[in-house]
Amino acid sequence: MATICISVLLVGGLSFAQESDSNSGRFDYSKDYISLTDSDEDPEPVTDPTEKTPLDTTIIKDKVTKGEWVVAPVPSYNPSQEWGLALIAQKIFAHKSSQKPSVLAAGLFGTEKKSYGGIVAYMGRLREDRLRLNVFGGYAKVNSDFYGIGKDQSEKDTSVLLEQKYSFLTIQFLPKWGSVYLGPSLTYLDISNRFDISGLPDTVDPSDKLDSTSYVPGLKFQMDTRDNTFYPKQGYLTNLSGQFYDSRWGGGHTFQNYRGNHNMYFHMWDENVLAARVAFQINEGDVPFYNLAVFGQGPDLRGYKAGKYRDKDLWATQAEFRQRFTDHIGVAYFAGVGDVIPSLSDLSLDDLLWAGGVGFRYRLGARNPIDFRIDVAYGDEWAWYFAVNQAF
């Protein structure tokens, strides 16, 4: 459920510097002049650090170690929450001049659906990026339309209002083993679900445990070869994770959640980039309805009401072409496809969920290539998205 809170903030404007299962940040440094392009080579000195292209982030060391704040009120509209407003803040800084910067982020949101909440996050890059420490915590009340479980039930287009309240805290400790980050995670999760029992779809058991408090151990794997966190032009980012729910540790259900994504970046010409992404989620065991895979959260995929399509397993893939016109202005064109299924044995290429759209980009960061984005997408309905940072 922590994913839902983060997804609401993603839609509402807070897009954590790309991904630590929710997202992570990464940079590189060199001597007196420091490049944030994540290159191991020393950059050429610049005579005037203010004269930079939007993606040439070579700057003076003392400015990096002091950090840069990006603060913005961000309006939002999406099919699940309708109109909303988020206040987001991100600070990019280095603990030491010889280390890659960390990210401290926070956000508050409220929506027309009477949802509200807040989240704080720390994505630390420690010991010359040989250790990544990620901490996420927050509280949210989210009202959404619940359509039931399975694609057939969702396509009936009948729903009841679901009110969810949850508090969460996640810690990920990822030491580097060769070229791989691998380590444990622990999540505290307190959930409350309320809706009109008389209006529930047949696929939901009304005796299901609606309130729970859980402690969830997990394991996370990450590989990251991107040349830049905020506007990668080449390389890839791979995340694989497992979370292991056990009724003995609270929650009343025993099941396992496995998820992964692989983002790839291809430099085309100038500052134009082709980005591609594949993602999946698999649940095994006695999974409650509120922990099922949900289509339309985060970047997978834009154009669907988050929560309308849910089932045990999910897969999605998409591509996005990012084009820059000036130092500050750019656009993106994207399309993708995916599905929700009750099990891997039901995997099929029939009746898939397609989506596509176009977006506007405007650079916010004075020293880092951080974009404010506005996307319009169509899946099973039109949707608008406002956020900071790229979708993936």
For 29-89, give the DSSP string.
--SSEE-SS--SSPPPP-S-TT---TT---EEHHHHHH-EEEEEEEEEEETTTEEEEEEEE
Q: How many other C-beta atoms are found inside a 10 Å radius of the C-beta of residue 205? A: 10
Mean pLDDT, the chain, integer: 80
- Going by C-alpha positions, the residue among 196, 152, 193, 162 that lies closest to residue 80 is 162
Per-residue pLDDT, averaged over 143-172, amounts to 85
Provide the pLDDT for residue 136: 94
Provide the pLDDT for residue 44: 39
What are 242-258's pLDDT values in tens digits?
999 998 888 788 999 99
β-pairing, 116-126 vs 131-146, is: antiparallel
The widest CA-to-CA distance across the chain, in whole angstroms, is 70
How far apart (Å, rounded) are the C-alpha atoms in residues 23 and 370? Answer: 14
Assign 3-class secondary structure to 86-105: EEEEEEEECCCCCCCCEEEE
Per-residue pLDDT, averaged over 28-50, amounts to 34
Q: Between 347 and 47, whose confidence is greater?
A: 347
Per-residue pLDDT, averaged over 74-88, amounts to 83
Per-residue pLDDT, averaged over 124-140, amounts to 92
Provide the pLDDT for residue 284: 94
β-pairing, 255-267 vs 273-285, is: antiparallel
Q: Between 21 and 224, whose confidence is greater?
A: 224
Per-residue pLDDT, averaged over 45-49, amounts to 36
In the predicted model, is pLDDT for residue 302 greater than 60? yes
In the predicted model, is pLDDT for residue 180 greater than 80? yes
Provide the pLDDT for residue 156: 72
**Cβ pair 273, 305 in contact under 8 A:** no
In the predicted model, is pLDDT for residue 29 greater than 50? no
Q: Between 110 and 160, whose confidence is greater?
A: 110
Provide the pLDDT for residue 307: 81
How far apart (Å, rounded) are the C-alpha atoms in residues 259 and 229? Answer: 21
Confidence of residue 83 (pLDDT cuts 50, 70, 90): confident
In terms of average pLDDT, the best of 65-74, 240-249, 378-387 is 240-249
In terms of average pLDDT, the best of 12-21, 102-111, 376-385 is 102-111
pTM: predicted TM-score of the whole model, two decimal places? 0.78
* Inter-CA distances, 165 with 2, 20, 212, 253, Å: 11, 23, 11, 18
Architecture of domain 2-388: Beta Barrel (2.40)
Per-residue pLDDT, averaged over 165-186, amounts to 94
In the predicted model, is pLDDT for residue 71 greater than 90? no
Per-residue pLDDT, averaged over 117-121, amounts to 96
Per-residue pLDDT, averaged over 90-115, amounts to 84
Provide the pLDDT for residue 320: 97
In the predicted model, is pLDDT for residue 3 greater than 80? no
Provide the pLDDT for residue 128: 84
Task: State what percent of residues in the chain have pLDDT above 90.
Answer: 41
Among 67-71, 93-97, 250-254, 378-382, name the one with the lowest average pLDDT: 93-97
- Residue with structure tokens 């698999």? 282
In the predicted model, is pLDDT for residue 98 greater than 80? no
What are 334-344's pLDDT values in tens digits?
999 999 999 88
Confidence of residue 208 (pLDDT cuts 50, 70, 90): low
Confidence of residue 82 (pLDDT cuts 50, 70, 90): confident
